[in-house]
């Protein structure tokens, strides 16, 4: 991937993520992790090569919670369904279910500013869950959270994944987090970034 200004961000990348695989992407700052995720999401157009992403919905969780401050948790979570033209009743049900799954039941009417950082991140995850994505992309979602909240969210995302077995890619700076969370760890290095290692992780979690 070469940006219009000439910056080369990725080279010779060949990665396939299958349904039921949760791949962590680690590597030094600037090696192209976010770029790779943004290419997968279609936020960037590749300067070369091809990017293919399933046929269903895609969930994307950004580094910051990016909730709309004037909307309640419920209104934020149902936004993707609203934009996709899902009928009001149906999207309410989907949003409430997603809110429940991330442990925010009871907070539907709260505004983002009334929630803790961890709760805002959970609302963001719920928002990405509403359309039941077949592909889930996380761009270093828990970097700004305290260690305890982060560990709790690691466990919760891990359990969402074990339940739904979507194809997931999780960008992180933390190698322990990568190993704990995923079924595979891909290490990118260099500028432009290349795949330095692609390692299966077999912690043998019990499937839920
Ligand atoms: P990481 O997520 O691994 O820290 P990034 O994907 O953010 O790395 O960035 C990879 C490289 O691409 C960096 O050198 C960065 O400065 C550059 N880059 C990212 N986005 C753009 C852009 N829109 N235009 C030009 N260069 C960019
Ligand atoms: P998190 O680990 O998600 O950041 P906290 O540790 O901040 O959550 O909060 C722990 C619990 O305290 C939450 O699950 C919630 O039940 C309650 N809580 C946190 N913030 C609020 C709030 N603004 N109003 C009511 N209850 C809250």
Reported as a single tens digit per residue, the pLDDT across 100-133 is 999 999 999 999 999 999 999 999 999 999 999 9
- The per-residue b/e assignment along 59-80, b for 16 or more CB within 10 angstroms, e otherwise, is bbbbeebebeeeebbbbbbbbb
Q: What pLDDT is stored for residue 64 in this prediction? A: 87
Residue 88's pLDDT band, with cuts at 50, 70 and 90, is: very high
Tokens of 19: 């349904």
Averaged pLDDT for residues 64-91: 95
- What pLDDT sits at residue 174? 87
pLDDT at 205 over 90: no
**32, 36, 196: residue to mutate for ligand 1 pocket, most atoms within 8 A of CB:** 32
Residue 143 clears pLDDT 90, i.e. is over it: no
Rounded distance between C-alpha atoms, residue 16 and residue 25, angstroms: 13
Give the number of the ligand closest to the Cα of residue 106: 2
| Three-state SS at 14 | coil
**Ligand 1 atom 5: the closest Cα is on which residue?**
32
Asked if pLDDT for residue 161 goes beyond 60, the answer is yes
Q: pLDDT-derived band of residue 183, with 50, 70 and 90 as boundaries? A: very high
pLDDT (tens digit, 9 = 90+) per residue, 28-42? 999 999 999 999 999
Residue 195 has pLDDT above 70, yes or no: yes
Q: Is 117 in the pocket of ligand 2 (CB under 6 A)?
A: yes
Q: Average pLDDT, whole number, for the chain?
A: 92
pLDDT exceeds cutoff 90 at 164 = no
**ipTM > 0.90 for the complex:** no
Tell me, what's the pLDDT at 203? 63
The H or E element spanning position 89 is helix 88-101
pLDDT attached to residue 100 = 94
For 146, the 3-state DSSP assignment is coil
How confident is the model at residue 207, as a pLDDT?
52
Enter the pTM of the model. 0.86
Give the pLDDT of residue 114: 97
Nearest to 128 by CA among 59, 176, 65, 188: 59
Distance from Cα 8 to the centre of ligand 2, integer Å: 42
Residue 204 has a pLDDT of 63
Radius of gyration of the chain (CA): 17
Distance 71 CA to ligand 2 centre (A): 19
**pLDDT of 206:** 55
Which has the closest alpha carbon to 170: 29, 8, 21, 1? 21
Alpha-carbon gap, residue 183 to 20, rounded angstroms: 9
How much is the average pLDDT of 43-52? 91
Output the residue whose Cα is nearest ligand 2's atom 21.
Answer: 115
- Can you tell me the distance from the alpha carbon of 112 to that of 122, in angstroms, rounded to the nearest whole number? 11
């Amino acid at each position: 991937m070469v940006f219009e200004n000439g910056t080369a961000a990725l080279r010779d990348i060949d990665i396939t993520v299958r349904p039921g695989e949760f791949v962590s992407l680690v590597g030094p700052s600037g090696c192209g992790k976010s770029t790779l995720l943004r290419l997968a999401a279609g936020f960037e157009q590749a300067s070369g090569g091809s990017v293919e992403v399933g046929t269903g919905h895609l969930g994307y969780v950004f580094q910051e919670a990016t909730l709309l401050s004037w909307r309640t948790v419920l209104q934020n979570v149902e936004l993707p369904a609203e934009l996709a033209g899902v009928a009001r009743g149906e999207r309410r049900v989907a949003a409430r279910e997603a809110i429940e799954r991330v442990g925010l039941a009871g907070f539907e009417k709260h505004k983002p500013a009334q929630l803790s950082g961890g709760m805002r991140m959970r609302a963001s995850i719920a928002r990405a869950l509403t359309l039941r994505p077949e592909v889930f992309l996380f761009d270093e979602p828990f970097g700004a959270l305290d260690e305890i909240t982060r560990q709790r969210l690691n466990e919760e995302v891990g359990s969402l994944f074990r339940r739904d077995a979507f194809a997931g890619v999780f960008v992180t700076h933390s190698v322990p987090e990568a190993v704990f969370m995923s079924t595979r760890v891909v290490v990118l290095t260099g500028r432009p970034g290349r795949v330095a290692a692609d390692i299966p992780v077999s912690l043998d979690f019990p499937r839920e």
